[in-house]
Structure 1
Amino acid sequence: MLSWDIAGFMFFSTIETVSLYYLIMTLFRFKWRAYLWPAMFIILINNLQSYLLRNELDLANISPLITIMVFIFFFAAVVRMPFVFSVIATISGYVIFAVIQSALVLLMFGSLSQVENHTINGYILQTASAAVVFAVFWFAYRKGKGFTFDMEKLRFKLEDIVLTVLIIIFLIGISVLLVYKNLWIDIAFFIVMSAFLLYYSTKKEREDA
Protein backbone atom coordinates (compact mmCIF):
# COMPACT_ATOMS: atom_id res chain seq x y z
CA MET A 1 0.00 0.00 0.00
CA LEU A 2 1.29 3.42 -0.96
CA SER A 3 2.25 5.34 2.18
CA TRP A 4 1.09 8.89 2.83
CA ASP A 5 4.74 9.97 2.83
CA ILE A 6 5.28 8.78 -0.74
CA ALA A 7 1.88 10.05 -1.88
CA GLY A 8 2.53 13.51 -0.40
CA PHE A 9 6.00 13.70 -1.91
CA MET A 10 4.78 12.65 -5.35
CA PHE A 11 1.76 14.98 -5.33
CA PHE A 12 3.54 18.17 -4.26
CA SER A 13 6.69 17.41 -6.25
CA THR A 14 4.55 16.96 -9.35
CA ILE A 15 2.90 20.34 -8.80
CA GLU A 16 6.34 21.91 -8.38
CA THR A 17 7.93 20.20 -11.40
CA VAL A 18 4.98 20.91 -13.69
CA SER A 19 5.31 24.58 -12.79
CA LEU A 20 9.01 24.40 -13.75
CA TYR A 21 8.00 22.90 -17.10
CA TYR A 22 5.40 25.66 -17.54
CA LEU A 23 7.96 28.34 -16.68
CA ILE A 24 10.46 27.13 -19.26
CA MET A 25 7.91 26.63 -22.03
CA THR A 26 6.24 30.03 -21.58
CA LEU A 27 9.52 31.85 -20.99
CA PHE A 28 10.66 30.82 -24.45
CA ARG A 29 7.21 31.15 -26.07
CA PHE A 30 6.52 27.46 -26.69
CA LYS A 31 3.03 25.94 -26.68
CA TRP A 32 3.11 24.20 -23.32
CA ARG A 33 -0.22 22.38 -23.79
CA ALA A 34 1.06 20.54 -26.88
CA TYR A 35 3.57 18.52 -24.84
CA LEU A 36 1.84 18.40 -21.45
CA TRP A 37 1.01 14.67 -21.39
CA PRO A 38 4.46 13.37 -22.37
CA ALA A 39 5.87 15.91 -19.90
CA MET A 40 3.63 14.49 -17.16
CA PHE A 41 4.88 10.98 -17.88
CA ILE A 42 8.50 12.08 -17.57
CA ILE A 43 7.81 14.23 -14.50
CA LEU A 44 6.09 11.42 -12.59
CA ILE A 45 8.91 8.94 -13.23
CA ASN A 46 11.52 11.58 -12.42
CA ASN A 47 9.80 12.38 -9.12
CA LEU A 48 9.74 8.68 -8.24
CA GLN A 49 13.50 8.36 -8.68
CA SER A 50 13.91 11.64 -6.78
CA TYR A 51 12.03 10.14 -3.82
CA LEU A 52 14.26 7.06 -3.88
CA LEU A 53 17.43 9.16 -4.01
CA ARG A 54 16.32 11.43 -1.18
CA ASN A 55 14.77 8.91 1.17
CA GLU A 56 16.41 5.58 0.42
CA LEU A 57 19.99 6.66 -0.38
CA ASP A 58 20.21 10.08 1.29
CA LEU A 59 21.48 11.58 -1.99
CA ALA A 60 19.24 14.63 -2.17
CA ASN A 61 22.07 16.71 -3.66
CA ILE A 62 22.07 14.55 -6.81
CA SER A 63 18.34 14.83 -7.47
CA PRO A 64 18.35 18.40 -8.90
CA LEU A 65 21.16 17.50 -11.31
CA ILE A 66 19.21 14.52 -12.61
CA THR A 67 16.08 16.68 -12.98
CA ILE A 68 18.05 19.19 -15.08
CA MET A 69 19.44 16.42 -17.28
CA VAL A 70 15.98 14.90 -17.73
CA PHE A 71 14.51 18.24 -18.81
CA ILE A 72 17.36 18.85 -21.25
CA PHE A 73 16.79 15.49 -22.91
CA PHE A 74 13.01 15.96 -22.86
CA PHE A 75 13.14 19.33 -24.59
CA ALA A 76 15.64 18.07 -27.15
CA ALA A 77 13.94 14.75 -27.93
CA VAL A 78 10.24 15.51 -27.49
CA VAL A 79 9.80 19.26 -27.97
CA ARG A 80 12.46 19.06 -30.69
CA MET A 81 14.49 22.01 -29.47
CA PRO A 82 18.06 22.12 -30.79
CA PHE A 83 20.25 20.55 -28.12
CA VAL A 84 22.12 23.79 -27.43
CA PHE A 85 18.81 25.61 -27.01
CA SER A 86 17.40 22.92 -24.70
CA VAL A 87 20.43 23.36 -22.42
CA ILE A 88 20.00 27.14 -22.41
CA ALA A 89 16.24 26.93 -21.80
CA THR A 90 16.49 24.33 -19.03
CA ILE A 91 19.28 25.99 -17.07
CA SER A 92 17.76 29.47 -17.45
CA GLY A 93 14.34 28.26 -16.32
CA TYR A 94 15.77 26.29 -13.41
CA VAL A 95 17.78 29.29 -12.17
CA ILE A 96 14.74 31.59 -12.34
CA PHE A 97 12.65 29.01 -10.49
CA ALA A 98 15.35 28.64 -7.84
CA VAL A 99 15.46 32.41 -7.32
CA ILE A 100 11.67 32.56 -6.90
CA GLN A 101 11.67 29.65 -4.47
CA SER A 102 14.60 31.04 -2.47
CA ALA A 103 12.80 34.38 -2.11
CA LEU A 104 9.69 32.57 -0.88
CA VAL A 105 11.75 30.65 1.68
CA LEU A 106 12.99 33.91 3.18
CA LEU A 107 9.59 35.62 3.03
CA MET A 108 7.54 32.74 4.42
CA PHE A 109 9.88 30.82 6.74
CA GLY A 110 12.94 32.96 7.36
CA SER A 111 15.43 30.15 6.82
CA LEU A 112 15.92 26.96 4.84
CA SER A 113 16.16 24.87 8.01
CA GLN A 114 12.51 25.58 8.74
CA VAL A 115 11.64 23.92 5.43
CA GLU A 116 14.06 21.01 5.73
CA ASN A 117 12.99 20.12 9.27
CA HIS A 118 9.23 20.34 8.72
CA THR A 119 7.66 18.33 5.91
CA ILE A 120 4.48 20.40 5.86
CA ASN A 121 6.51 23.57 5.33
CA GLY A 122 8.14 21.90 2.34
CA TYR A 123 4.74 21.14 0.86
CA ILE A 124 3.60 24.71 1.47
CA LEU A 125 6.74 26.04 -0.21
CA GLN A 126 6.28 23.80 -3.25
CA THR A 127 2.66 24.87 -3.62
CA ALA A 128 3.45 28.56 -3.16
CA SER A 129 6.33 28.37 -5.66
CA ALA A 130 4.06 26.77 -8.25
CA ALA A 131 1.31 29.33 -7.64
CA VAL A 132 3.71 32.25 -8.11
CA VAL A 133 5.24 30.73 -11.23
CA PHE A 134 1.89 29.96 -12.84
CA ALA A 135 0.51 33.43 -12.06
CA VAL A 136 3.56 35.42 -13.16
CA PHE A 137 4.33 33.49 -16.32
CA TRP A 138 0.69 33.12 -17.35
CA PHE A 139 0.40 36.91 -17.22
CA ALA A 140 3.71 37.39 -19.07
CA TYR A 141 2.74 34.86 -21.74
CA ARG A 142 -0.63 36.52 -22.29
CA LYS A 143 1.15 39.85 -22.72
CA GLY A 144 3.48 38.39 -25.34
CA LYS A 145 6.53 38.56 -23.11
CA GLY A 146 9.34 36.03 -23.38
CA PHE A 147 12.39 35.13 -25.41
CA THR A 148 12.47 33.85 -28.96
CA PHE A 149 15.49 32.71 -30.96
CA ASP A 150 16.19 31.53 -34.47
CA MET A 151 16.53 27.95 -33.37
CA GLU A 152 18.00 26.80 -36.65
CA LYS A 153 21.07 28.91 -35.92
CA LEU A 154 21.48 26.98 -32.69
CA ARG A 155 21.02 23.61 -34.37
CA PHE A 156 24.21 21.84 -35.31
CA LYS A 157 24.68 19.01 -37.80
CA LEU A 158 23.92 15.45 -36.75
CA GLU A 159 21.99 16.73 -33.75
CA ASP A 160 19.74 13.69 -33.55
CA ILE A 161 22.71 11.33 -33.55
CA VAL A 162 24.47 13.37 -30.88
CA LEU A 163 21.30 13.45 -28.79
CA THR A 164 20.90 9.69 -29.03
CA VAL A 165 24.55 9.11 -28.08
CA LEU A 166 24.24 11.49 -25.12
CA ILE A 167 21.14 9.72 -23.85
CA ILE A 168 22.88 6.35 -24.14
CA ILE A 169 26.01 7.62 -22.37
CA PHE A 170 23.89 9.19 -19.65
CA LEU A 171 21.97 5.94 -19.22
CA ILE A 172 25.09 3.79 -19.05
CA GLY A 173 26.88 6.16 -16.67
CA ILE A 174 24.01 6.38 -14.20
CA SER A 175 23.26 2.67 -14.53
CA VAL A 176 26.86 1.75 -13.67
CA LEU A 177 26.72 4.05 -10.65
CA LEU A 178 23.48 2.52 -9.47
CA VAL A 179 24.67 -1.06 -10.03
CA TYR A 180 27.18 -0.54 -7.24
CA LYS A 181 24.32 0.62 -5.01
CA ASN A 182 22.07 -2.27 -6.08
CA LEU A 183 19.22 -0.01 -7.11
CA TRP A 184 17.76 -1.97 -10.01
CA ILE A 185 14.54 -0.04 -9.87
CA ASP A 186 16.41 3.18 -10.74
CA ILE A 187 18.16 1.43 -13.61
CA ALA A 188 14.73 0.37 -14.89
CA PHE A 189 13.60 3.99 -14.55
CA PHE A 190 16.37 5.27 -16.80
CA ILE A 191 15.80 2.53 -19.36
CA VAL A 192 12.08 3.33 -19.55
CA MET A 193 12.76 7.06 -19.78
CA SER A 194 15.40 6.72 -22.49
CA ALA A 195 13.26 4.33 -24.53
CA PHE A 196 10.34 6.73 -24.27
CA LEU A 197 12.38 9.74 -25.41
CA LEU A 198 13.90 7.85 -28.33
CA TYR A 199 10.52 6.49 -29.40
CA TYR A 200 8.86 9.90 -29.18
CA SER A 201 11.74 11.53 -31.03
CA THR A 202 11.35 9.07 -33.91
CA LYS A 203 7.58 9.54 -33.91
CA LYS A 204 7.87 13.34 -34.05
CA GLU A 205 10.46 13.11 -36.81
CA ARG A 206 8.10 11.02 -38.96
CA GLU A 207 5.25 13.42 -38.31
CA ASP A 208 7.38 16.40 -39.33
CA ALA A 209 8.63 14.70 -42.50
Structure 2
Amino acid sequence: MEAVLFMFFSTLETLAIHGLIMSLLRIPISRHLGQALLVMTLANVQSLILRSEYHLDFLVPLISLLIFLFLYSTIIKIPVIWSAVCTMIGYMLYAVIQVAYLSLIFDSIETVQTDRFDGYILQALSAGTGLLAAWIMYRFRIGFRFNMERTRLKFEHVLLIVLIGIVLVLVAILFYLNHLWLHFVFFASTFGIFLYYAIQSEERDRRDVRGNRQTDRREDQTTSTRT
Protein backbone atom coordinates (compact mmCIF):
# COMPACT_ATOMS: atom_id res chain seq x y z
CA MET A 1 0.00 0.00 0.00
CA GLU A 2 2.85 2.36 0.81
CA ALA A 3 4.37 1.81 -2.63
CA VAL A 4 1.00 2.54 -4.30
CA LEU A 5 0.64 5.83 -2.39
CA PHE A 6 4.20 6.78 -3.26
CA MET A 7 3.58 6.14 -6.97
CA PHE A 8 0.26 8.05 -6.93
CA PHE A 9 1.55 11.22 -5.27
CA SER A 10 4.86 11.11 -7.16
CA THR A 11 2.91 10.92 -10.42
CA LEU A 12 0.87 13.95 -9.36
CA GLU A 13 4.11 15.84 -8.71
CA THR A 14 5.75 14.89 -11.99
CA LEU A 15 2.53 15.71 -13.86
CA ALA A 16 2.51 19.18 -12.25
CA ILE A 17 6.16 19.76 -13.22
CA HIS A 18 5.38 18.53 -16.75
CA GLY A 19 2.43 20.96 -16.91
CA LEU A 20 4.58 23.89 -15.84
CA ILE A 21 7.27 23.06 -18.42
CA MET A 22 4.73 22.57 -21.24
CA SER A 23 3.08 25.89 -20.35
CA LEU A 24 6.45 27.63 -20.52
CA LEU A 25 6.82 26.18 -24.01
CA ARG A 26 3.20 27.23 -24.78
CA ILE A 27 2.25 23.66 -25.67
CA PRO A 28 -1.02 22.10 -24.40
CA ILE A 29 -0.39 19.52 -21.67
CA SER A 30 -2.68 17.06 -23.47
CA ARG A 31 -0.20 16.78 -26.35
CA HIS A 32 1.99 13.66 -25.99
CA LEU A 33 0.36 13.04 -22.57
CA GLY A 34 0.33 9.25 -23.06
CA GLN A 35 4.06 9.07 -23.74
CA ALA A 36 4.77 11.52 -20.91
CA LEU A 37 2.77 9.45 -18.39
CA LEU A 38 4.59 6.28 -19.45
CA VAL A 39 7.98 7.96 -18.97
CA MET A 40 6.88 9.47 -15.63
CA THR A 41 5.73 6.06 -14.38
CA LEU A 42 9.08 4.48 -15.23
CA ALA A 43 10.90 7.41 -13.59
CA ASN A 44 8.82 7.08 -10.42
CA VAL A 45 9.45 3.32 -10.25
CA GLN A 46 13.17 4.03 -10.45
CA SER A 47 12.81 6.69 -7.77
CA LEU A 48 10.96 4.27 -5.49
CA ILE A 49 13.65 1.61 -5.86
CA LEU A 50 16.48 4.10 -5.33
CA ARG A 51 14.89 5.54 -2.20
CA SER A 52 13.48 2.49 -0.47
CA GLU A 53 15.81 -0.32 -1.50
CA TYR A 54 19.21 1.32 -1.91
CA HIS A 55 18.91 4.65 -0.04
CA LEU A 56 20.39 6.58 -2.98
CA ASP A 57 18.13 9.62 -2.60
CA PHE A 58 20.82 11.96 -3.90
CA LEU A 59 20.55 10.39 -7.40
CA VAL A 60 16.78 10.93 -7.76
CA PRO A 61 16.79 14.65 -8.75
CA LEU A 62 19.58 14.14 -11.30
CA ILE A 63 17.81 11.17 -12.88
CA SER A 64 14.50 13.05 -12.99
CA LEU A 65 16.12 16.06 -14.68
CA LEU A 66 17.77 13.84 -17.29
CA ILE A 67 14.53 11.97 -17.98
CA PHE A 68 12.56 15.20 -18.46
CA LEU A 69 15.33 16.61 -20.68
CA PHE A 70 15.24 13.58 -22.97
CA LEU A 71 11.42 13.54 -22.92
CA TYR A 72 11.17 17.05 -24.37
CA SER A 73 14.04 16.73 -26.83
CA THR A 74 13.27 13.28 -28.29
CA ILE A 75 9.50 12.86 -28.00
CA ILE A 76 8.10 16.41 -28.00
CA LYS A 77 10.91 17.58 -30.33
CA ILE A 78 12.01 20.72 -28.46
CA PRO A 79 15.61 21.86 -29.17
CA VAL A 80 18.07 20.47 -26.62
CA ILE A 81 19.03 23.89 -25.28
CA TRP A 82 15.44 24.93 -24.60
CA SER A 83 14.57 21.49 -23.24
CA ALA A 84 17.29 21.96 -20.62
CA VAL A 85 16.34 25.59 -19.87
CA CYS A 86 12.61 24.92 -19.50
CA THR A 87 13.19 21.75 -17.47
CA MET A 88 15.31 23.68 -14.96
CA ILE A 89 12.80 26.56 -14.79
CA GLY A 90 9.86 24.15 -14.37
CA TYR A 91 11.62 22.37 -11.53
CA MET A 92 12.49 25.66 -9.84
CA LEU A 93 8.90 26.92 -10.11
CA TYR A 94 7.63 23.72 -8.53
CA ALA A 95 10.31 23.93 -5.82
CA VAL A 96 9.20 27.48 -4.97
CA ILE A 97 5.59 26.30 -4.62
CA GLN A 98 6.59 23.39 -2.38
CA VAL A 99 8.92 25.47 -0.20
CA ALA A 100 6.14 28.05 0.26
CA TYR A 101 3.72 25.38 1.55
CA LEU A 102 6.48 23.85 3.65
CA SER A 103 7.15 27.20 5.33
CA LEU A 104 3.50 28.19 5.81
CA ILE A 105 1.95 24.90 6.97
CA PHE A 106 4.69 22.65 8.32
CA ASP A 107 7.29 23.46 10.94
CA SER A 108 10.29 22.03 9.10
CA ILE A 109 11.35 19.59 6.43
CA GLU A 110 12.08 17.01 9.14
CA THR A 111 8.38 16.99 10.04
CA VAL A 112 7.45 15.98 6.50
CA GLN A 113 10.21 13.41 6.26
CA THR A 114 9.23 11.65 9.50
CA ASP A 115 5.45 11.76 9.00
CA ARG A 116 4.44 10.18 5.67
CA PHE A 117 0.87 11.52 5.90
CA ASP A 118 2.18 15.09 6.13
CA GLY A 119 4.44 14.34 3.18
CA TYR A 120 1.50 13.21 1.06
CA ILE A 121 -0.46 16.34 2.03
CA LEU A 122 2.48 18.49 0.97
CA GLN A 123 2.78 16.64 -2.35
CA ALA A 124 -0.95 16.94 -3.06
CA LEU A 125 -1.07 20.67 -2.26
CA SER A 126 2.05 21.38 -4.29
CA ALA A 127 0.91 19.31 -7.27
CA GLY A 128 -2.58 20.88 -7.27
CA THR A 129 -1.13 24.38 -7.12
CA GLY A 130 1.41 23.53 -9.83
CA LEU A 131 -1.30 22.24 -12.18
CA LEU A 132 -3.43 25.32 -11.51
CA ALA A 133 -0.45 27.59 -12.20
CA ALA A 134 0.27 25.67 -15.41
CA TRP A 135 -3.35 26.13 -16.56
CA ILE A 136 -3.24 29.88 -15.80
CA MET A 137 0.09 30.24 -17.65
CA TYR A 138 -1.25 28.45 -20.73
CA ARG A 139 -4.62 30.23 -20.58
CA PHE A 140 -3.00 33.67 -20.55
CA ARG A 141 -0.15 32.63 -22.87
CA ILE A 142 2.59 33.20 -20.30
CA GLY A 143 5.67 31.58 -21.78
CA PHE A 144 8.38 31.91 -24.37
CA ARG A 145 7.13 33.72 -27.47
CA PHE A 146 10.04 33.59 -29.91
CA ASN A 147 11.00 30.90 -32.42
CA MET A 148 12.91 28.20 -30.54
CA GLU A 149 13.80 26.35 -33.73
CA ARG A 150 16.52 28.91 -34.38
CA THR A 151 18.46 27.50 -31.43
CA ARG A 152 18.28 23.92 -32.70
CA LEU A 153 21.80 22.53 -33.01
CA LYS A 154 23.05 20.95 -36.20
CA PHE A 155 23.23 17.15 -35.89
CA GLU A 156 21.07 17.38 -32.75
CA HIS A 157 19.74 13.84 -33.22
CA VAL A 158 23.29 12.48 -33.21
CA LEU A 159 24.07 14.50 -30.08
CA LEU A 160 21.01 13.09 -28.28
CA ILE A 161 21.87 9.52 -29.19
CA VAL A 162 25.46 10.02 -27.98
CA LEU A 163 24.25 11.59 -24.70
CA ILE A 164 21.81 8.72 -24.10
CA GLY A 165 24.60 6.22 -24.78
CA ILE A 166 27.00 7.98 -22.39
CA VAL A 167 24.38 8.14 -19.62
CA LEU A 168 23.55 4.45 -20.05
CA VAL A 169 27.24 3.45 -19.88
CA LEU A 170 27.84 5.53 -16.73
CA VAL A 171 24.69 4.19 -15.06
CA ALA A 172 25.61 0.63 -16.05
CA ILE A 173 29.04 1.01 -14.40
CA LEU A 174 27.48 2.50 -11.25
CA PHE A 175 24.84 -0.20 -10.98
CA TYR A 176 27.33 -2.97 -11.76
CA LEU A 177 29.49 -1.84 -8.85
CA ASN A 178 26.45 -1.83 -6.56
CA HIS A 179 24.73 -4.88 -8.10
CA LEU A 180 21.53 -2.91 -8.81
CA TRP A 181 20.46 -5.05 -11.76
CA LEU A 182 16.72 -4.62 -11.30
CA HIS A 183 17.00 -0.87 -11.29
CA PHE A 184 19.23 -0.94 -14.35
CA VAL A 185 16.51 -2.80 -16.26
CA PHE A 186 14.02 -0.01 -15.51
CA PHE A 187 16.57 2.68 -16.34
CA ALA A 188 17.60 1.03 -19.61
CA SER A 189 13.98 0.60 -20.71
CA THR A 190 13.30 4.29 -20.08
CA PHE A 191 16.26 5.46 -22.12
CA GLY A 192 15.46 2.82 -24.73
CA ILE A 193 12.20 4.67 -25.33
CA PHE A 194 14.09 7.94 -25.79
CA LEU A 195 16.59 6.28 -28.13
CA TYR A 196 13.77 4.84 -30.23
CA TYR A 197 12.11 8.24 -30.59
CA ALA A 198 15.42 9.94 -31.39
CA ILE A 199 16.14 7.47 -34.21
CA GLN A 200 12.55 7.63 -35.49
CA SER A 201 12.66 11.43 -35.52
CA GLU A 202 15.90 11.42 -37.48
CA GLU A 203 14.49 9.01 -40.06
CA ARG A 204 11.28 11.03 -40.35
CA ASP A 205 13.25 14.25 -40.90
CA ARG A 206 15.31 12.57 -43.60
CA ARG A 207 12.16 11.39 -45.39
CA ASP A 208 10.71 14.89 -45.18
CA VAL A 209 13.87 16.39 -46.66
CA ARG A 210 13.86 13.87 -49.51
CA GLY A 211 10.16 14.51 -50.12
CA ASN A 212 10.68 18.26 -50.24
CA ARG A 213 13.55 17.87 -52.69
CA GLN A 214 11.45 15.69 -54.99
CA THR A 215 8.62 18.21 -54.83
CA ASP A 216 11.00 21.04 -55.70
CA ARG A 217 12.36 19.08 -58.67
CA ARG A 218 8.84 18.42 -59.99
CA GLU A 219 7.94 22.07 -59.62
CA ASP A 220 11.13 23.10 -61.45
CA GLN A 221 10.38 20.66 -64.27
CA THR A 222 6.80 21.95 -64.57
CA THR A 223 8.02 25.55 -64.68
CA SER A 224 10.65 24.83 -67.34
CA THR A 225 8.07 22.95 -69.48
CA ARG A 226 5.69 25.90 -69.36
CA THR A 227 8.40 28.35 -70.36
> Which residue of 2 is the match for residue 51 of structure 1?
48
> Which residue of 2 is the match for residue 93 of structure 1?
90
- Paired residue type of 1:181: N
> Which residue of 1 is the match for residue 140 of structure 2?
143
Q: Secondary structure at the match of 2:144?
A: coil
Instruction: Report deviation, 1:57.
Output: 1.1
Regions of 4+ moved over 4 Å: 204-208
Instruction: Report deviation, 1:124.
Output: 0.7
Give yes or no for contact 2:16–2:134 (8 Å, CA) kept in 1. no
Distance 1:58 1:84 in 2: 32
Q: TM-score, normalised by structure 2?
A: 0.87
Alignment of 1:71-150 (within 5 A): 71-150=68-147
> Which residue of 1 is the match for residue 24 of structure 2?
27
Give yes or no for contact 2:157–2:202 (8 Å, CA) kept in 1. no
Q: Secondary structure at the match of 1:62?
A: helix
Distance 1:160 1:93 in 2: 24
Equivalent residue for 1:13, pick from 10, 13, 16 = 10
Equivalent residue for 1:175, pick from 172, 176, 181 = 172
Say whether 1:61 aligns with 2:32: no
Instruction: Report deviation, 1:77.
Output: 0.6
> Which residue of 2 is the match for residue 194 of structure 1?
191
Q: What residue ranges of structure 2 are gaps of 5+ in the alignment?
A: 209-227
Instruction: Report deviation, 1:148.
Output: 2.8
Instruction: Report deviation, 1:63.
Output: 0.4
- Paired residue type of 2:58: N
CA offset digits 1:87-134 (Å, max 9, x no partner):
101011111111111111111112111111111111111110111011
CA offset digits 1:27-52 (Å, max 9, x no partner):
22012211111000110010011011
Q: TM-score, normalised by structure 1?
A: 0.94
Deviates more, 1:72-81 or 1:27-36: 27-36
Distance 1:19 1:10 in 2: 14
Instruction: Report deviation, 1:206.
Output: 5.0
Instruction: Report deviation, 1:201.
Output: 2.9
Q: Give the structure with the higher percent helix.
A: 2
Residue-pair matches, total: 206
